[in-house]
Structure 1
Amino acid sequence: MFYASNVSGAGVTRDEEIWYLDSGCSNHMTGKEDLLVDIDKKVTAKVEMGTGQLVEVTGKGTIVVETKASKRHIKEIMLVPGLKENLLSVGQMIEHGYYLVFGDHKVEIYNDSSHTNLVAKVQMKGNRSFPLKLQAEMHFAYRASVDHSTDLWHRRFGHLNMSSLKLLKEHDMVVGLPEIKEDRQVCEGCVLGKKSREAFPREAISRASTPLELIHSDICGPMQTVTKAGNRFFLTFIDDCTRMCWVYFLRHKSEALCVFKKFKATVELQSGYKLKQLRSDRGGEYTSVEFERFCDNAGIERQFTTPYTPQQNGVAERKNRTIVEMAKCLMLEKKIPFDFWAEAVNTSVYILNRCPTKALSKKTPFEAYGGRKPGIKHLKVFGSLCYAHVPKQQRQKLDLASKRCIFLGYGSCEKGYRLYNIETEKVIISRDVIFSENECWDWNTKKETSVNIQLTEIREEEQGAEGSSYEFEEQLEVNEMPSLNIEISDQEREAGSQDVDHTPLKYKSIAEIYEKCNMCIIEPESFEEAAKDDSWKKAMEVENHHD
């Protein structure tokens, strides 16, 4: 038995294309057989109308909605001869994966839970009905959602220019990127964060033919803002053959030799190649006696730029400029404080290794170095508000199921997201995260705006392209992590582990103290247990009295 409410078309022009959204209707229904395709006449049933009248169902079919981009099919529509109006069941649309948001005298229909892929927007009429003209309104809304998707990926890729974004798709350089439609609108983040002057001319010189044959290096800084770990500089290493880039963060330039030793040992072990040449400027951090001695002992040939001509180290100079520009765009869009610049730089390098470069033909640095195409389905907009799931082993019954966080990038050692816990002011790594990519945290008022939610989980198959034999993502680690009190990720914590917190009370935040206070509110698990508590006995007596 199916049900259909009464819908009056008063005040609405009758049209075979008009369908009414009906929350009282248990199934899509129409009385016009010519609107349906693939009709199954074997399906029969009875429908009870709002008046109590029973009418026959003589079949079930599909309607096809033409859009500029593609065709959409709305299936399982009951054919009810004599029905004057076309009805779309709200419940059935929800079952088929659509998300409907009612409010402000309208209803918005989305294609998924992200609340970003708009399918249709329907205004409420004077008779409190929601008439949807499929051929016109769905066509417009679907086209709008395609444009929004392009803008979203532009922001996920750190405000990468549209031509490079289209190149990724046209040459199938990454896994998981949808069709890109170039948008001529002005992006404020790009205007504010990117440099407008012309770059240095590139010299036509020979290129390395194997990874690690030639490494370019340069230090950028000091930054005007010190990170929470006390870092003021970042140091990059760029492979000439593949253009793969690694970044490290320094408190002082004198740490360059220590970082270079770590970099050399790691990449040689992971790739199987030997580092042969190092090109840099003549800064004191590269020309110290200790640095020269280490390179001589390791058999590394040194290449220096001519004094006052940094253009000769153009690869590293351009890379650092690109990294800084992207990092500024990332922070400006979501108004991230500048003391998080290291997180933005780290994320920029992660993204740029997955972007096209003129130095390579139809490949990203990630693929050229590791041999596999990178997966990009997990990319999110830097600085977005998000919610990290708290497993039940780590919370009490009355605790919240998620932590409110800010997205700061991608894990280096674990496959997960780097998140800044707003309450504890710590950086955590988590895989199960709900994102609101269109919203950001107001660092002044400590409040967030309305939330558009998208559930995302990093899965092995989505990042399978990154599971190459070269675990070089280790080098994207931000060395300020220990100073930020990194919490152990959900996957690394053993199930059922209940470690006791011995932190002195004076070192805990007020939020942590209140969180522990909730643990003393224990709900009884049986009637016998509740009967022993005077407060529960009193509550039961009050309840019985009301009954």
Structure 2
Amino acid sequence: MTGNDGMFTSLEDPGDKEQVTFGDNSKGKVIGLGKIATSNDLSISNVLFVKSLSFNLLSIAQLCDLGLTCEFDKNCAVVRSEKDKSMVFEGFRHGHLYLVGFNDMKTSSTTYLFSKSSLGWLWHRRIAHIGMSQLKKVVKKGMVTGVKDVTFEKDKLCSACQAGKQVASHHPMKTCVSTSKPLQLLHMDLFGPTTYESIGGDKSETPDKFKIFAKRAQREFGLNIVKVRSNNGSEFKNYKVDEWCDEEGIKHEFSVTYTPQPNRVVERKNKTLITLARAMLDDYGTSEDFWAEAINTACHASNHAYLHRLLGKTPYELLIGRKPNISYFRVFGCKCFIYKKKSLDDEPLRDAMKNMTIGDVKPEEMHEDHDQGRGYSPSRSSTSMAPHVDENEQSEKEQGGDDEVPDNQDQGMPHAQVSRDESPPTIAPRRPLPTCVEEALEDPDWIMAMQEELNNFTRNEVWVLEEHPKDKNIISTK
């Protein structure tokens, strides 16, 4: 009997055997009955799978009932067959117990307890290592000929099949919540690489951004981060993060290499946010340079709209304690008209500027200083937060020709917006790439790019210019 279910090659219902009693009168529940492969050629039959059993035990009484004799002395134990007195296996004494190492034992002849590799395994190797169950099925139904008196039974492991057919273990979905409060377990991951750079932020800022977020979240919500889980990327597995986690008493867990399943919560969330951001950018033809803002908006929306699979509540309600209000949400990238305050020295002809909405901000998050401009290349743009905004959420097809300023609605609802040129946000058509140097020299942008590259070579001292010796030839490069 054993308590390790991973040792069984086959496991069946135990029938009427419900429990076993040990020497101290404690009882163990019998879960199954099956076979254990001790090597490539030997297996043990009628082995009980007993719950919570910490050792692998062989019953002396059952060995004797099978027609075997057991001889013990102070150093070893020998099990022989009663018929021909041949040795079946031999054990050694360790303390007050006798142990048997089946993995180190040489293959012996067929006995009552062990079964040798049969002719079925030979046919298994002949027929391209097809599974025993499939071979048993086609032979039993008479679908093939030429195989007689052969039993196909998987009573051991095939080392070749283990090496060639090994598959990853299945990771079942969780059926219960492993945490009792929000932020007890924090999953972390980075999205990338991507073709377009974000307007702000860099991968090297990850440790500092993590510390800022962790401190702010714990203080704002009055909760403690107990564990964080991430992959083995250098942005998470470094001295800065480890030192800060040790100071704060936070346990940092890492997923196994090439095994993202333990961190699949954030892996799946990244995929969801990316697909949402793609749809949002495509809706109004917004420039892909705003992908980071789109993902940020998608994350904000998903926290208000998705339900926890087990708890049936939104992440917002689980963290804040009340149902979210989504009345301030607007279409990402839609046109908006922002009221422009008049100064004493300036009397503009228009009271509103046409801009583009790139996010939603709650009214309670507004403050007096709204100057949050940041540079954007290649077009001249800036982002800011404004309390007086009117949006036109109709698509370009629905809007028709001239734009019309909509009536004031939902006044006071602030939204993040981008100041752009007077034309609506569009994606500029790509110019054909030059096919030769002569064509590139006709384009001022290409000339500037080539000159910048040459300047980089000079700054980095890639080469040193020398005068051409008169008696030497120059070797050209490709």
**TM-score scaled by structure 2?**
0.45
Whose Rg is larger? 2
Pick 1 or 2: higher relative contact order, CA cutoff 8 A, min separation 6: 1
**TM-score scaled by structure 1?**
0.40
Structure showing the higher strand proportion among its residues: 1
